[in-house]
Structure formats: structure tokens, C-alpha cells
Amino acid sequence: MNISKVYKLIILTTVVFVLAGCSSSSINLKKDYRIKSSKDINFYITTDLHYLSKSLTDNGVAFQKFVASGDGKELEEIDPITEAFTSNIKVKKPDILIISGDLTSNGEKQSHLDLAKKLKTIEESGTSVYVIPGNHDILNPYARGFKGDNQYVTDYITAKDFSQIYSDFGYDEAISKDEDSLSYLATPSEDVWLLMLDTNKYKSNVSLGAPQLGGELSSKTLNWIKKCSDLAKEKGANIITVMHHNILDHSEIVRKGFTIDNNETVLKNFKDNNLNLVLSGHIHIQDIASDNKDKPELYDIATNSLATYPHQYGILKYSAQDNSYTYNTTKVDVEGWAKNNGIVDEKLNNFTKYSEDYFGNFAYNMISKHFTVTDNYSDAEIKLMSETMKTLNLRYFAGTENLNSKDVINSEGFKLLTNSSEGFFKNYVQSISSDKDTDDNNLYIKIHNNFSKSN
């Protein structure tokens, strides 16, 4: 056999191996992991940045209307927030940064390109970055720029574009990629692998004229997940699963479009495959849910949106000695970043108070405007209800609902809201006033697996 034929045979064999899926016999696993076995690992976790390129807005009338019609995201200051977060990472130097989707405001190509440049500087400082898309990021017909009184259509990206723009942040080093989505398996360390799952339904966005809110995992992807899990088990590696949509409910009323559509099927798959820790986003609140409070088999940690009060991110520490994870949260230090860079700006220099007022007043005004048009409540009562909603929403997004039992639950404003005939607000207030989980900002997980490492 001549050299040319041998070369072609090698290429053909390699292709067959890659297409065969996730098994140790078909994947050329790393022999030189960046993080060796028995080493502790420090993960930083963020989600839902909703980054909008500075070049796509002049902060004019059209942009202000867009922001006011939203859900309280701090888009006007999203570039400084992202810069401050990037700076925090460069100083603290975690091993890994995970971003679980909705990287951009509405999938604008320029926003993706600009954000990728920021992420590149993080990697250059020594932190490995891994990303997956969210429902806003791909084939989004809502991609817009803002100039003066007008919005204008700007380019969105395809799934292929996403994997190319973020090739340095997971896709190029994946040891396996799902053929049915942008999901991939990465092995940043010998002991802990990352199963990065694309749960979004963007293929029909353009024909529908809008991005789809909900998510799902196909049967093909679920089969691929099993193969990845089998390989991790064979190699004695733990898996952290990352996805944009939630696998468990994080709200009694905000479920549809947020909890993954086929969650029962997916949950069974995860449990069967020893996937017991999920990092998600999408819902914007800080919340930790488990499948069983008394004897949990799976945790779903939804980290607060970086674009939304209180602008916090997760810190997950893996202890090799204890074979455990410890999770807690911390806020982006925007004020410190502004000071260090000599920036004089009233909002940024007092960002903690500004962001709390901004988000709190968003909820306050929503209630005030709604109940003002009715004849059922006095001005004093409307003020009480508005103040109560402000407090409840601030704590809900910060994951500190446990504080409500000390004051809000017995307040007159709370009684007025829960006795209101307005179904949505009544149900919403009741659902966010308390939480089944006692602490949404801290968690300790002892990893229980039944496998040992193979060579």
C-alpha cells in the first residue's frame, strides 16, 4: 500500500472515530490535562449578560424606550458592568469561567463579536472560558440597534457563526460535539468535566418572527449525553452539567418557557447518568432547587443574571480531597473598578445604591401604575403595596427571600397584595414571599459516585 493510500486510510479512520460518538475507543482523550488529578478547582459562574455592543446604541430616546419596556435589566450600564466583571476575574484568577447562555441582548452579531474580545482578554489572563448559547443568542429576528428616535435592524448570527465566534471558549477543545445541537463535552481537568448543553429552540425563529422562549433536549442529544456520561464514569471523572434553561422549577408560577419543556424525560436521563449538579440561568433570579429536599439526588443552581440586580455571580469550588463542591455568590465590584480606572460617574461610583434603586423602583412603579387606574385602593394603600413589591422583588432576585418572614409577611402592604383580586400579582407575591430552600446563595455538595478511575 502506497503512502497516499495509507494517509487516506488514516483520515477516514479518524472521521469514523469522531462520528462514532462519545466512547473511550472513539475519542482521543487528553493525556495532558491543564488541571491534573487531585487538584482543587475554582469555577466562576455567570449567566444572562444580555450584552449590547456600545456601537449599537447612542442611549437616545429609542434605546430608553426599549429599556423601559423590559424586565428591569440594567442595559444602559451593561458595558461597564461587563468590564468590571472582566476586571474582577483578571484579579481573582479563577481556573474556569462558565457562562450559561444569553450572552447578548438580542443576538446582535456585533454584540457577540465585542463580547468575544472581552472573553479573550480573560483567557489571556489565565482563566479558561466555556460558553453555551441562550434563547436570545442565535437566529434572533429581534436583533436591533438604536439611534435617536429609531430602532434599526442589525445582523444576527447562525448556530455555525456562534461556534466560530466562540471557538476559543469551549468548542475548539471539546472532545465530543453533539450532532443535533451546539452541545459539547469539555475536559478542562482530569477530575471534573463540563457537559455544556444547548437547550434552545432557535431553528424556527426566523419563520416565526421571534425567538422562542422555551427549550428542550432531543432524544438524539439525550443518547449522546448517556455516551458522554459512560465515558466519564469509565475514566473516573465527575461531570458538571451546564444549560441555559432550568431542569427543575425555580418558581411556582414562572415555569412555562423557563423549565425545560421535556424536563421529566431529561431529569430521568440525568439521574440515570449520575448528573447531579446542573448550572443554569434564564430565569434571572438567584435560586437553588433540588429534586428532593429531604434526600436530594440532583441540584439545579440558577445564578442571578449579570445584567440584573444585584449583579452577582457564582463561585464553585471543587475539593479534590473531600470530593465535594462548595457554592457561594458575590457581587460584581463596579464601584471598585470605576475607582481603579479613574472614572468619575455618579451611577458607577455609587453603583450598589444606584442598581438597588433602579431595580427596586422598576417593581414599585409597576404596582403603582397598575393599581392607580382602579378605584379600589387609596393612595396610601397603593404606596404600601408598591413598597412591599419593591422589597419582595429585590430579595427574590438576590436569593434572600428567607428575610421576608421577619418583616414583609406581616406587613399591611403584603396583606393588601395577597387579598387583591388581581390574579397574577396575587399569585406572584405569594410565590416569591417564601422559598422552600433556606439558602439560595450557599450550598455544599458531597459527591457520591460509584466508580473508580481507569487508565
Helices (H) and strands (E) in the chain, counts: 14, 15
The SS3 assignment for 140 reads coil
Helix, strand, coil % (nearest 5) of the chain? Answer: 40, 20, 40
Q: Domain 350-432 is of which CATH architecture?
A: Orthogonal Bundle (1.10)
* Pairing verdict, β 312-319 and 299-302: unpaired
Give the phi and the psi of residue 415 in degrees, each rounded to 5. Answer: -65, -40
| 17, pLDDT greater than 90 | no
Q: Find all residues with CB under 8 Å of 241, minimum gap 6, and list them.
A: 195, 197, 270, 275, 277, 278, 279
Of 51-60, 200-209, 254-263, 273-282, the least confident: 254-263
* Three cell numbers, residue 366: 409597576
Q: Is pLDDT of 269 > 70?
A: yes
Alpha helices (H) in 125-208, listed in sequence order: 159-165, 205-208
Of 285, 291, 288, which is closest to residue 301 (Cα–Cα)? Answer: 288
Phi then psi dihedrals of residue 54, to 5 deg: -60, -25
Provide the residue ranges of all domains of the chain, joining segments of one domain with +: 21-337+440-446, 350-432
Region of poorest pLDDT, from 61-75, 282-296, 334-348: 282-296
pTM of the predicted model, to two decimals? 0.91
User: DSSP class of residue 164?
Assistant: H
Distant-in-sequence, close-in-space partners of 154: CB < 8 Å, separation ≥ 6: 56, 108, 109, 110, 143, 144, 145
| Mean pLDDT in residue range 281-296 | 90
Mean pLDDT across the chain:
91
Query: Grid coordinates representing 369?
Result: 401604575
| pLDDT in the model for residue 13 | 37
- What one-letter code names the amino acid at 277? L
- Predicted pLDDT at 438: 67
First-to-final CA distance of the chain: 34
- Contact predicate 387/364, CB 8 Å: yes
Can you give the pLDDT at residue 12? 36
> Which candidate, 353, 446, 437, places its Cα nearest to that of 400?
437
| Residue type at position 91 | V
**Residue 208: pLDDT above 80?**
yes
User: Is the confidence at residue 449, as pLDDT, over 90?
Assistant: no
Q: What is the predicted pLDDT for the residue at 455?
A: 43
pLDDT of 130 higher than 80: yes
Averaged pLDDT for residues 342-362: 97
**375 has pLDDT over 80:** no
Backbone phi, psi, residue 145, to 5°: -115, 170
Q: Which CATH class is domain 21-337+440-446?
A: alpha beta
Residue 107 backbone dihedrals phi, psi, to 5 degrees: 75, 20
pLDDT of residue 432: 84
Please state the length of the chain: 455
For residues 134 and 297, the model is more confident at 134
**Cβ atoms of 82 and 306 closer than 8 Å:** yes
Q: What is the per-residue DSSP string for 387-407?
A: HHHHHHHHHHHHT-GGGGGGT
pLDDT in tens, 153-177: 999 999 999 999 999 999 999 999 9
Q: What single-letter DSSP state applies at residue 428?
A: H
For residue 150 the three cell numbers come to 429609531
